[in-house]
């Protein structure tokens, strides 16, 4: 390689680095690209962040409460102790993301994808997840109390020790879902799909729990706390 070509190559490489770094310092706004960035304890409540990119980002202690994140991407992001309470998450990509002890209560996930996501010990109380793909994911110990999961799918997902008290489960697909100690207290599962007697036996319910036709409440119900 000639000295001139080598010099030009070094200059071109040097020019790329500031541009990549600058993305992580850009202010929060619509279409901001924080792909792969690390962010902690930012207050982004009520922000307009449509189509923002947080793929592969590390987000800790953030506050997205009531923010508009329509069509944003959190694919493969790590989300720890983050609040999305009452946020607009329509069309958001959470595929392969990991959320630990985060709050999605009251959030709207219309058209979102949570395939292969891991939402562990997270709150999704009253969240709207109608028709959402939650297949092949891990939702262990998460809380879906009073959530709207109409026509959502948990195919091949882990929902062990998760809670679905009074959730809307019409058309929800639990085919091959792992339901060990899953709490269905007060839930109407009569319109759910894919449930087997083995899954019901492994789960927990109470006198108000309704099951699909052909399935019976096990003698072990209600489970001990």
Residue 13 has pLDDT above 80, yes or no: no
As a whole-number percent, the residues of the chain with pLDDT over 70 amount to: 90
Q: What are the strands of the beta sheet with 78-80, ordered from one edge? A: 38-40, 58-60, 78-80, 98-100, 118-120
pLDDT tier, 225 (very low <50, low <70, confident <90, very high otherwise): confident
Residue 200's nearest CA partner among 223, 218, 224 is 218
The model carries a pTM of 0.88
pLDDT beyond 90 at 98: yes
pLDDT in tens, 142-193: 999 999 999 999 999 999 999 999 999 999 999 999 999 999 999 999 999 9
Please give the average per-residue pLDDT across 125-135, as a whole number. Answer: 98
Q: Are 114 and 94 in contact (CB under 8 A)?
A: yes
Dihedral sign computed on CA atoms, order 207, 211, 215, 218: negative
């Amino acid at each position: 390689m000639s000295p001139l070509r080598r010099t030009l190559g070094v200059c071109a490489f040097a020019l790329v680095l500031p541009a990549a770094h600058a993305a992580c310092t850009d202010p929060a706004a619509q279409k901001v690209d924080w792909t792969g960035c690390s962010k902690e304890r930012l207050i982004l409540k009520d922000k307009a962040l449509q189509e923002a990119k947080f793929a592969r980002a590390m987000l800790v202690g953030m506050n997205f409460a009531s923010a508009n994140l329509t069509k944003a991407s959190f694919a493969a992001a790590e989300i720890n102790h983050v609040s999305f309470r009452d946020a607009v998450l329509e069309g958001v990509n959470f595929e392969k993301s990991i959320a630990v002890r985060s709050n999605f209560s009251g959030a709207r996930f219309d058209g979102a994808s949570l395939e292969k996501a891991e939402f562990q010990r997270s709150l999704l109380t009253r969240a709207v997840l109608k028709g959402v793909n939650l297949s092949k994911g891990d939702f262990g110990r998460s809380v879906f109390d009073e959530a709207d999961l109409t026509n959502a799918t948990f195919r091949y997902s882990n929902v062990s020790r998760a809670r679905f008290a009074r959730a809307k489960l019409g058309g929800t697909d639990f085919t091959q879902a792992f339901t060990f100690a899953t709490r269905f207290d007060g839930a109407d599962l009569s319109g759910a799909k894919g449930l087997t007697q083995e899954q019901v036996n492994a789960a927990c319910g109470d006198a108000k729990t309704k099951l699909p036709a052909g399935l019976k409440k096990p003698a072990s119900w209600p489970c001990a706390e």
